[in-house]
Chains A and B, each alone.
Chain A
Amino acid sequence: MAQPELGDEILRLDNLNVHFPVKMPFVQRLLQREKAVVHAVDGVSFSIHSGEILGLVGESGCGKTTVGKASVRLLNPTSGRIFFAGQDISKIGGRSLRTLRRKMQIIFQDPHASLNPAMAIGRAIGHPLWIHGSEFGIQNLSSTVFRERVQQRVLSTMREVGLTPEEQLYDKFPGDLSGGQKQRAVIARALILEPDLLVVDEGVSMLDMSIRAKVLELMLDLKRQHGLTYLFITHDLATAKFICDRLAIMYLGRIVEIGPARDIYADPKHPYTKALLQVVPIPDPDKRKEKVLPRGEVPDAVHPPAGCRFHPRCPAVLPSCGWEGRDFVDFLDEHLSDPKRAGDDELVLGPIENWRTNGLVASLEAKPLNIEEAVERVKAVLAEAPIAMAQAIESVSTHKRTVIIHFRPPNELRQTQVGDRIVECLLYQ
């Protein structure tokens, strides 16, 4: 099957950043010099062309929803630009934004939460028409003619999305519908405005397996009939495989690989994509977090790892991928917590709280007289560390009574064209 002709560009993100302030107690906020922010989306660029389904895939918390919400301007971008059908919409607001919303719709994960529990289904589906009534050239919204027309449109849209028997469901409330019916209602509500772009955020992940396939089929049908374009957000690769033309793989606020879905499934390039596709098992992500948090360090998205963000978990990691002070301390922590391996290292190198990290540097103020031994122990520990990490170390030195470990700065990471896709990984640079 030949690659279909690309239509016009519908959506383009250009170096999109969305940062959230970290919620913290007032006093702490006063004491902190620089404001801590969650780098939910950190330099994301891609475009979607008319008639295409782009899948945005990644683990929980990597920023998919944030990209989706920013794309339809439910969130304001911190920086970067969003183009919709060629128009820069990153700064518009008020009426011009509201008018534009007709053309771009979003469907959320939880159909139950997406429907106002106090609004009957028929009215909910028709409400967008009331909201945009004046743009359809209708002056008097309460006129019987308009009401009749809205009702007819709602009923035909309900039929189209398979929300039948539509006459009976029209006056039901969300609480009376099943999950699948509710998601169909949400789709109908989005569709009734005849949008160009539909952002579907985990649109089927809360549905039962049997219903899931049907709703996906429906989305594909609607795409064909209405020439819809989708940004399809999911953490489930099976779903993505079923529906997407292209895939964008996201990790910690960045896109690490993007390209035609079939090719990515056949031959994933980025180590993270490979891991996702289970060619290689992913190292447990929670281990690192659990260790880091109690020591008072900040979660990953606030201070993302240096260099390639995937390096602490990457099975193919290189010495130049971004090793830094806290990677060593994390490894040491793990080492010390295993008494068999650690022996009496704890006496010399512990407790782990005594280590300080600052970017590429990790340092320990050694106990008196132990400085030489501390250096030896560090070197012994490093012999067991991942080779890439050990090789990334420039020097283990001493200054007065402090042991200092210096890492080499990482290589600059660039997005690289590899065949028909773009990959962000040093292996391909």
Chain B
Amino acid sequence: MGIVKPAEAEDTEKLVRSSSSIGTILNLLLQDRRTLAGVLSWVGIGVLVSFVVIAIFAYPLAPYDPQRIFLTPPNQPPSLQHLMGTDDLGRDLFSRMLYGARTSLEIMTIGVFLALAIGFPIGLVSGYLGGKLDRVLVLVMDSVYAFPGLLLAAMVALFLGKGVFNVGIAITVIYVPTYFRVTRNQTLSVREETYVDAARALGAGNWTVIWSYIAYNVLISIPVVFSLSAADAILTAAGLSFLGLGLERPTPDWGLDLSDAQKFLTSGVWWSSFFPGVMIIILTVGLSFLGEGLNDIVNPLLRKERA
């Protein structure tokens, strides 16, 4: 109950300054450029932005049509004509990798955004209102969460059939519980804030409190989950394609290409497996870096805010 010394007060305020939670994170990212967390985050952001650019500009960037079959013998090693070589059907791997980025990001975006759009509001309401509804939702979400992700996605994909959108849905099912849990936990702690009491004292009803006083302050913990689940989603999508449950041939897709290339690996054709694998790894690792970096940046912030 001691009186806050001005110096301390200022310190706390520097961290929670600025308009919004997203704005706060951006500010911190700029401040923390030199720390490990900052470097990780910026590397992650760099990777993500590059892949988004590649996906958007696949058409002008790619030297050839990804479906075009060259009549030279297939499985050409990397050369100046074909930077990453050709695959077993004689298609240019480099072009397929660029277009594959588009496929991956499409799936990731559908899956992760839908999961957020479903898990976030349910987590908010469940966490704030509590009671029986909350207990039932936690039970349901926990059971889905306990299921192995790839197996669950495989089952949903099998049921829905192939295609970018269906794989997206399969991934949504895996991640709804993740967003639900994170949102709910954060809601439980924001709910105890004095400003929530203050809002109730003003006469705000449940919906107003949730919407105007809680939602935005819970959102701050989302970017971390977002990056990590996006990384996971890329792997899962690749896994589904590899298992033959994801996309239809001849869609340019890293997982599909990897699956087709593996039988030639023993005869020394390394490039057609190597490059899809590398693409998957770079994007996944980049997103994980971003997630871990943000986690280190956002968590102390959450602690400070609560102090």
Contact = CB atoms under 8 A, between A and B. Distances in A.
Contacts of A208: 3, 6
A116 interface: yes
A102 B198 contact: no
Nearest to A108: B194
Given A117-B16, A173-B19, A205 B203 contact: no
Nearest to B197: A74
B51 to A, nearest CB: 31
Contact of B195 (A105, A113, A175): A113
B17 interface: yes
Interface in B1-45: 1, 3-4, 6, 9, 12-13, 16-21
B201 A101 contact: yes
Given A60-B1, A113-B194, A116-B217, A127 B203 contact: no
Contacts of A160: none
Contact of A118 (B3, B21, B200, B204): B21
A102 B204 CA distance: 10
B202 A114 contact: no
A116 B17 contact: no
Interface string B195-222: 1011111111100100011001100000
Interface extent on B, as a size class? Answer: 20 to 34
B70 to A, nearest CB: 56
Contact of B9 (A98, A114, A179, A205): A179
B193 interface: yes
A127 B202 contact: yes
Contacts of B208: 131
A113 B193 contact: yes
Nearest to B13: A175
Residue of A69, A114, A118 with highest tally of chain B CB at under 10 A: A118
A206 B16 CA distance: 18
A288 to B, nearest CB: 20
Contacts of A128: 202-203
Contact of A205 (B3, B21, B193, B198): B3
A128 B200 CA distance: 10
A372 to B, nearest CB: 51
Nearest to A177: B13
A270 interface: no
B9 A189 contact: no
A115 interface: yes
Nearest to B20: A118
B305 A106 contact: no
Give the interface size bracket for A toward B. 35 or more
Given A101-B202, A108-B197, A175-B13, A206 B21 contact: no
Contacts of B213: 116, 119
B203 A99 contact: yes
Nearest to A176: B17
A120 interface: yes
A153 interface: no
B305 A117 contact: yes
Contacts of B18: 173, 175
Contact of B203 (A115, A120, A132): A132
Contact of A101 (B20, B194, B195, B203): B203
B258 to A, nearest CB: 44
A233 B16 CA distance: 28
A98, A116, A179, A202, most chain B CB atoms within 10 A: A116
A205 B217 CA distance: 27
Contacts of B216: 116, 118-119
A307 to B, nearest CB: 29
A235 interface: yes
Nearest to A173: B19
A117 B13 contact: no
Contact of B17 (A60, A99, A115, A173): A173
Contacts of A108: 194, 197-198
Contacts of A131: 202-205, 208
The 9 closest A-B pairs by CB, nearest first: A101-B203, A113-B194, A175-B17, A118-B216, A98-B203, A116-B195, A128-B202, A175-B16, A114-B198
B1 A235 contact: yes
A117 to B, nearest CB: 6
A114 B200 contact: no
10 contacts: A74-B200, A114-B198, A115-B195, A116-B217, A117-B217, A118-B217, A119-B212, A173-B17, A175-B16, A193-B203
Interface string A168-179: 000001011001
A193 B305 CA distance: 29
B17 A206 contact: no
Nearest to A95: B205
B254 to A, nearest CB: 39
A110 interface: yes
Contacts of A392: none
B307 to A, nearest CB: 10
Nearest to B22: A118
B110 to A, nearest CB: 28
A206 B202 contact: no
A114 B203 contact: no
B201 A116 contact: no
Contact of B201 (A72, A99, A173): A72
B38 to A, nearest CB: 21
A377 to B, nearest CB: 42
Residue of A101, A117, A193, A235 with most chain B CB atoms under a 10 A cut-off = A117
Contacts of A173: 17-19
A70 to B, nearest CB: 12
Interface in A176-208: 176, 179, 186, 189, 193, 202, 205-206, 208
B112 to A, nearest CB: 23
Find the residue from B194, B195, B217 having the highest chain A CB count within 10 A: B195
Contacts of B212: 116, 119, 127
